[in-house]
Each structure stands twice: as C-alpha cells, then as structure tokens.
Structure 1
Amino acid sequence: MTRVLVVDDALVMRRSVEKMLRSDYEVVLADDGEAGWDVLNRDDRIKMLITDIQMPRLDGYGLICRVRADNNARIRDLPIITITGAEDDETKARAYACGSTDFITKPFNQKLLQARVDAYLRLKQAGLTQANAATAADEVDPVTRLGGLGHFIKAGQQQFARAQQAKQDLAAAALDIDEYDHHQRQHGKAAGDALLAWFSGMLTTAAGKNATLARVGEAEFAMIIPALDRAPALELCEQLRMRAAAEPFKHGGASLPISVSIGLVTLNEDAPETFDKLLALVEQRLSQARSEGGDRVSVTILSDIMPEPEEVVLTGVDETPRDDAAALPLAEVEELAAE
C-alpha cells in the first residue's frame, strides 16, 4: 500500500485522518514537524505529506519549507496537503507560498480528504499499469463529461513525445475553481456539481478541438494543447479567468461569484525534460497562483524568483534529538499510550 505521512500535534486529529485513509493507504504518524522531518529522511516509501500548521518545535510552515528546499527529489517533490483550523487568507497564502500543494480547512469529511489524496498521488506517481491506464483512459467523469486523470496522462505523454520529436511547442495548464469547498458547503452538492459542469462547458468551448481536457481533482481541471506557445497560451488562460469572473454562476436562485486560479507551463519556454516534470511544474505554478490570492494565472513559482531556496531561514527550530515514538504507526502509538 502507498504510504502517507500525517503530521499533527493533536493525537485525535492524527487518529481521525488515519481512520479516513487506512482502507486505501498505509498511514505513518508524527506529532510535530521535527518528528515528521525525521520520518521523511528515514522512510523512502513515503509518497505524500499531510501536515498541520501550528505545532511545537517545528511548525507546518517550517516543515514545508524544508521539504521544498531539500536536495533529494524524492522529498522535494512530495505532494503536500496542509490541514488547519484557520480560515484566514493570510494562513492559506503563506502555506501555498511555502510550497503546499493544497489546503484543507478543519473540519473536513472523509470523501473530501480521500479525493484530494487520490488526485495528487496520481499526478505525482502516474502509478498506472498498462491495463489500469487503458481502463482509466476510457472513463468519463459523469459530472463534467470530461476524461479523468488516466485519460489526461496517457494523452499528455503522447503529445509531449510528439512535440519533442517535432521540436514544436506545447502548452499545459492546471485550473482550479477558487473557494469551491465553500460554495459546495453553502449551497449543497447539487450546486457544486452544476458549477463543475458549467465551468467544464466554458473550458471546452474556449480550449478548442485540439485540446486534451480532464477533471483531475474535486474542482481541478487539466488542459494540454499542442503547437501553442507562451503568448497565445497565456492569452487563452487570461480569457478563461476573466470570463469565469465576469459571469456569476447561477443555481436555484443563487448567484455565485466565481474566480479561477491557473498554473501555466509551455514546453519551449520552461523546457521540462519529461512529462512528469511538466506535470510537477504545472502543479507548482497552480499553487503559486493560489498563494497570491487566486483569480490569476501564474507562469512563475517561488524558485523562479528565489534562485537559492535552500537559504530559507527557519526560526524557532529546536534540533534536540528525540526518539521515534512520535513517528510510529497508529497501533504502536495506542500501545504506548496504554502503557
């Protein structure tokens, strides 16, 4: 089973997240950022990090910064989901700026957490066998009528290879509906599904027949268009962003203001060596757009403007050695607690 690290100083929260994920993932627990950092360096099977913000010794911000500045790509490129009870924009912006892939506000439900973990692990690992890839490629999302992640990866890999061989450009983007969770909580699942279908139609019309489109997360979409360079790709993304903002979504008498965050990568401009690196860069730029408040297109990430991220100074870090109890699987934590 894929191994996920959960870092939170509250035992109740660690146990709750473990319970939500244990049917599909092996969950490892740590009770603060330092313990989590120890696990990441010792356990090369960790494929995702889920972390709280407010913790003793090393908080979530410091842990995320360490991960993103690490020289080891296994650690540096981990998908990171931040979970916190804070709902203010400053907390979200700081988490995204540090390099968080996504942000979930407590309390959250099992379905939401599982959807986020599934989506980001698939993007990270592209861990599909040939048989699974063929099956996934044939699947159609019933809400948006778009293909899913398997479809996007299979088609994207082919288009990436063709573009490299023909020395042509290629544009890829990740698009996320801002505050989707809030809209769904306020107006219900039916409204949330209708919003996804509405945006999917807008995206399909704007992108054109040559685009490969997919729904890859709860409210995240992916797009890849061959033979499209930076300037027209940026113009297309800006038009999508402005159109979404200009046309409030209406459902059941409610009119919802909508904005979209977009991360954009083009092959010739950014020169990713592989399709996996292209996907990782797209996700990082989407995170940057979110960190800047959403409703924008990002073609940069922090490392683009901070050439030496390893020099980030982490304050308030206690380097005192500790034992491994905080990083034990849940069963062992409970045994220790019972002693």
Structure 2
Amino acid sequence: MPTDSHRDISLKPRILIADDSRIVRATLIKRIEGMFEFREALDGEQAWEMLLIDPSIRVVISDLTMPKLDGYGLLKRIRSSKIGRIRNMPVVVVSGSDEQAERDRAKAAGATDLITKGMSTGQLLSRLDILSKLISTQNEFERGLEALVQHVDTDEHVALLSPEVWQEQAEGMRASAVRQNRNFVVLTACIGLKHVELDAYPALPPPTVINAIGQLLHRTVRQTDCVARTGEIEFTIATGSIHFDSARNFAERVCRAIAHANLIKDGQMALIASCGVVSISEYADDAAEIEGSLAQMRVKAKDRALLGLQNAITGVIGTQEELLLKQGGHLSEADINTIDPAQSGEVDLSIDLATLLRWIKEGKEDQVLAHIGKLSTELQPLVDLLLKQYKV
C-alpha cells in the first residue's frame, strides 16, 4: 500500500524535455526535479511518441534545433493533433538568444512561451507552475462540462442573474471602475454548432449543453464578477479590477474548454465558442463617453462574439480581430493566439509595475509611456516616501 508521501510525489506535474543536448537536458532536470517529474526526449520524433503514450505530461519544454523532427515540426504536430490533451499542451521553447524575430516565429508556430537558457531558476519554475496549473484547470473545466451535461434537465433552472439584475450590478462595477481609474471588461460568449465540412455554423446546440455551460460559468467566475444568460446561445460576464490580458486569458480558456469538451456525440459536428471582449479602456480618451458606455460595451461585445461565431472561430475577438474580419481577412485560431492585447488598442488601465518593467526590458517604451500618466497618482506616495527618506 503506497503511503501518502508516495502519492504526493506521483502527483507532481510531469514535464517533457525535448533537446538533443544531454548537457541542456541535465541542466534543466537539475533545476526542476524538486518541483516536477520529468521525461526526456532526444529529438522531436521521440517527444511526439512520448506525448502519444503518456497522458500525464502537462508541459513540453522543447529546443528548436533537433534532428529527425525540429521544434517547429513538433509544434506543428502538437497544434494540429486530433487529441485534445495534446493539441492544447503548453509548449515552452528554449532558445539561446532573446531576439524578437525568433520569439515571433516561435509564437506564430504555436509556442506558449519562449525562455532563454540564461533564465533564472525561480523564473523558470514559476512559469512552468503557472502553465501546468492552467492546463489542469482547463482539463477540470472540460470534465466538469461533460459531467454536468449528463445531469442537466432541459427545464432545470440555471442559477444565473437575469439580464436586468446583471445590468444593475455591472453598472455599479463600471461606475466604480471609472471613479478609481481601474479597468472594467465585458465578455460575451456565443455558442454554436459547426459541421466539419462547412465554414459557418448551421445549427443551435442542444438546450442541455447550453444549460450545462451556464451552470459551469456561474461556478467559475469570481464572486466579484457577474454573469447572466443574455440570449438563446449567449452568456455575458462583467469583470472589474482585472488586467485586460487576464480577462482575455480567462475568456480563451473558457472557449477552448467548451469547444474541446466531449458534449456533442455526432462526430460530424463540433462546438464553436466565440467570445467578444470589450474593455473600458477603448473609451478612455472621452470621459463623457465612458459615463454612458455600458450599453455600448454590451452591444460591441455581442457583435464581436457573433462575428467570431459566423466565421467559425473558437477564441477571443477583440479590437484587432474585429478589424481584420470586417476587412475580409481570415483569422485562424493560431492567429488569435498570437495577437498581443497590448498592441491591439485595448490598453489596460490597471496595468501593474511588474508588467511595465518587463515591457521596458523588451524595448516596448511606447507602451510604457502610455501608462505613466495613469500610474502617477498611485506612485506619488512612493515618490514622497523616497524623498522623505533621503531628504531631497
């Protein structure tokens, strides 16, 4: 009989390290072995075989240059896999340089993150921990959806706010955000069915599926947020005091979990989950417009969600995605994953200092300058303290 300590060890997240250099593999293992289990692969082909046979792997760390199958080839196989747990696997690319061109190419190929070989152990462990928890959360979300849909009666009441109560609570959140110069985001998720051979969705999902999704959203959002079913295939969430990229990440995980859960038994049909996202920062240049923007935000979020749904896109539709689609461009799910919210016109009013420092290191001075004025009030007490300390 295994002891509790043995069970705890076996429950450590498992990392797959793919690199043809024995020294690099040994170095990475030494840095992570206290917190993670690991498997080693000498090339991309071996890594792919391990992913197929080992469902306990949570994150892949991969070199870009390997024999037989390089890192880009491995990424392509992972992102095009028909197996959900592999297709959604976080992949961290290891690079010897920190050049933006290589980072952009890796991201475009489907890399979740890119780290340099000189990254500190603390940073590496922190990133791997976050990624392993994210994939575990998404897997739990999918399993929860599958379990819920088996027990939800089509007539069962879903414990969500009415649109009227949602409007009242969201307006209070929006007003508070304006007063405190904080961010406020409206997310609208629309659910549809797509035939594998068609470009657009042809049908509505079964009521049991919609009800199950509503119940799980109600359990998933923070207590400080509010969610309502605002249409036959539509849910709307209001969230405040959250970074815009965090709201996008939440919406992305919800969309992926809904689409990849085993809720539709017809092998020719697939769920589409498209989420329109609108931030109050889109109206930040006009104080008068902010005061009356909640209704506009709801309409805009719904329009974006429906635009994504009509184009059979599972993922988040924000300012940049909306512009591309309305111009007749094509957006794949990989394209959506590579769009940087900080470059899309959706500026986060509550951006933190850690993010600003990271942007400075990445050479994004223009983005940092866009937030200096908004942070001056919060930083002033710190400046005053420093002046007092050194009696300047």
Higher CA-based Rg: 2
Q: TM-score, normalised by structure 2?
A: 0.43
Q: TM-score, normalised by structure 1?
A: 0.49
With a CA cutoff of 8 Å and minimum separation of 6, indicate the structure with the bigger relative contact order.
1
